[in-house]
Amino acid sequence: MNKRNKPMENKQSPAEHLKNVTDLATKFSNVFKFDAWGKIAGENHDIGKGLNEWQAWLRRVNDVEDSFSKYYADHVNHAIHGAKRGI
């Protein structure tokens, strides 16, 4: 179980999540004939989750103390990093 008491087997793997988001972003942006841009946005939307600060926040909300703890400052906006990469 995770902190929110949801069975872990019901969770998507990171690869599944990335594929699902990319597929949805491509589908949604196709309405505007920008499906290629939607694909890029979907593929890059979680880039910020690789930051030490994000990893520290993620561990903190799940009550994990480890070497990433020193990077914790506050909740990190991970989404902006993928958006910046797309510009």
Residues of the chain under the 70 pLDDT cut: 1-8, 75, 77, 79, 83, 85-87
CA distance 52 to 59: 11
CA distance 22 to 30: 12
pLDDT at residue 87, as a whole number: 55
pLDDT at residue 3, as a whole number: 53
pLDDT at residue 8, as a whole number: 62
pLDDT at residue 39, as a whole number: 93
pLDDT at residue 53, as a whole number: 82
Where are the chain's structural domains? 14-45, 48-87
